[in-house]
Amino acid sequence: MKNSLKKLVLSGFFIALGFILPFFTGQIPALGNKLLPMHIPVLLCGFVCGWPYGLAVGFIVPLFRSIVFGMPPMFPIAMAMAFELAAYGFISGLLYKYFSRSRGNILVSLIAAMLGGRVVWGIVSYFLYGISGSHFTLNMFIAGAFINAVPGIIIQLILLPSIVLLLERMDMLENGFRV
């Protein structure tokens, strides 16, 4: 019970971070698309709290920001991001739980989550754009998922394994947040 409450509180913290970090990009979509500020707290939530919390936080953050600030726009961007970020939280938390604890495995979990989330984003975007009568092309997928996101991907690959290792050293992680 105590552990679940801590994970719930931490999840609220990660939602708040996902809500606030985009302000550092100045609410400029082109900059946010490159730095990916909402992705960091969602991926971290998966590592810290586990996959169920990471999935929920990932789904909530873009929809919540869209409702409150109109950024990202709800359709199709925030809706597609909700599924993408939910996949990030799910995959990072699930793989971290089952892999042995090492910098290499943290990185493997992170990369798998980043790739899996981008595939989910592409599939959902394809359907959402189709509903609106638009086309979501392979070039749009590659540009949105990889080319435009290179700065954010680099930041995530450097920052997140370091944070997770630091939390492990502080004895704050052990199959999720330790009581």
| pLDDT for res 101 | 75
Which is higher by pLDDT, 126 or 175?
Answer: 126
**pLDDT over threshold 60, residue 175:** no
pTM: 0.93
pLDDT band at 102 (very low <50, low <70, confident <90, very high): confident
Helices (H), 1-149: 2-20, 29-35, 39-49, 51-69, 79-98, 103-131, 138-142
Q: What is the CA radius of gyration of the chain?
A: 16
Instruction: Give the residue extent of every domain in the chain.
Output: 2-169
Q: Which fold has domain 2-169?
A: Arp2/3 complex 21 kDa subunit ARPC3 (1.10.1760)
Average pLDDT for the chain? 92
CA distances (Å), 166 to each of 46, 103, 134, 169, 173, in order?
A: 16, 11, 45, 5, 9
| pLDDT for res 171 | 77
List pLDDT tens digits, range 18-74.
Answer: 999 999 886 677 777 899 999 999 999 999 999 999 999 999 999 999 999 999 999
